[in-house]
């Protein structure tokens, strides 16, 4: 029979506790990590289900909006030629109107401002005398481009610097000028017809 020889030292109870302590700490840390991962998983799962529900609602709204857009596009469907034709029917040349407005201006006048609308041209002009105002209105009314012309306002102003201490005779040194605002009603048929 062979004798048993054990060269390892005998373990005491103290040594057994020391060897189990690191495993115990690692197990506790692993449990914390595992519990955190489980919590994160369930939280993410609930958020995913909530976001999927929101996505379905938003997708339903998008589908509804696309359906409405298709209905509107089908109702207003037109070709490019139709659009160009419509614009040509509704528009008129502006350059001949401006030429007509400036052609009839008396000498020594200043065209301050003009504004086009669908049916009229609003003109603001500086004229020298009231006679020039009446002649200018008369010329606009006789023009083929305009059906009527109306004076909206007439304001007098003086050229030169105003002095506070003027003598009564100095007032006659300045000739008043007139700023006139006129509305000329456009003859749409004549303008559209490509008048020369």
pLDDT tens per residue, range 152-196: 898 887 766 555 555 666 555 667 788 999 999 888 777 776 554
pTM passes above 0.85: no
- Confirm if 182 and 140 have CB atoms less than 8 A apart: yes
The span from the CA of 185 to the CA of 118, in Å, is 10
Q: What does the alpha-carbon distance between residue 119 and residue 142 come to, in Å, rounded to a whole number?
A: 17
What pLDDT, in 10s, does the model give residues 65-122?
999 988 887 776 666 677 677 666 666 677 888 888 888 888 888 888 988 887 888 9
Structure tokens at 184: 């000329």
Residue 181's pLDDT is what? 93
Given this model, what pLDDT does residue 160 score? 60
**Cα torsion angle, 124, 137, 127, 157, sign:** negative
- In eight-state DSSP terms, residue 74 is H
Opening angle at CA 74, ends 71 and 77, nearest 5 = 145
51-60, 142-151, 186-195: least confidently modelled range: 186-195
Measure the CA angle with vertex 13, ends 10 and 15; round to 5°: 70
28 compared with 83, residue with greater pLDDT: 28
Long-range contacts of 136-144, Cβ-Cβ distance < 8 Å, separation of 24 or more:
136/104, 136/105, 136/106, 136/109, 136/180, 136/182, 137/182, 139/104, 140/101, 140/104, 140/182, 140/184, 143/100, 143/104, 144/187, 144/190, 144/195
pLDDT for 120 equals 86
What six digits make up the tokens of 169?
């005779």
Residue range 7-20, pLDDT digits in tens = 766 656 565 556 77
pLDDT for residue 40: 95
pLDDT at 78: 66
Instruction: Please say if the pLDDT value at position 2 is more than 70.
Output: yes
pLDDT surpassing 70 at residue 1: no
In the numeric block, which tokens belong to residue 177? Answer: 């000028």
d(CA 146, CA 100): 9
């Amino acid at each position: 029979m062979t004798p048993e020889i054990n060269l390892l030292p005998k373990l005491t109870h103290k040594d057994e506790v020391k060897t189990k302590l690191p495993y115990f700490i690692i197990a506790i840390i692993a449990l914390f990590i595992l519990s955190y991962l489980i919590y994160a998983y369930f939280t993410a799962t609930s958020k995913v289900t909530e976001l999927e529900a929101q996505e379905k609602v938003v997708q339903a709204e998008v589908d509804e909006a696309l359906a409405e857009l298709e209905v509107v596009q089908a109702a207003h469907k037109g070709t490019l030629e139709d659009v160009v034709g419509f614009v040509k029917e509704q528009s008129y040349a502006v350059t001949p109107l401006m030429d007509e407005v400036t052609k009839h201006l008396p000498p020594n006048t200043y065209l301050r401002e003009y504004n086009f609308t669908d049916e009229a041209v609003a003109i603001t002009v500086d004229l020298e005398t009231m006679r020039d105002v009446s002649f200018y209105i008369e010329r606009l009314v006789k023009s083929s481009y305009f059906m009527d012309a109306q004076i909206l306002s007439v304001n007098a102003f003086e050229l030169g610097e105003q002095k506070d201490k003027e003598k009564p005779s100095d007032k006659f040194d300045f000739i008043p000028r007139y700023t006139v605002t006129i509305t000329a009603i456009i003859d749409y048929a004549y303008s559209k017809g490509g008048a020369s």
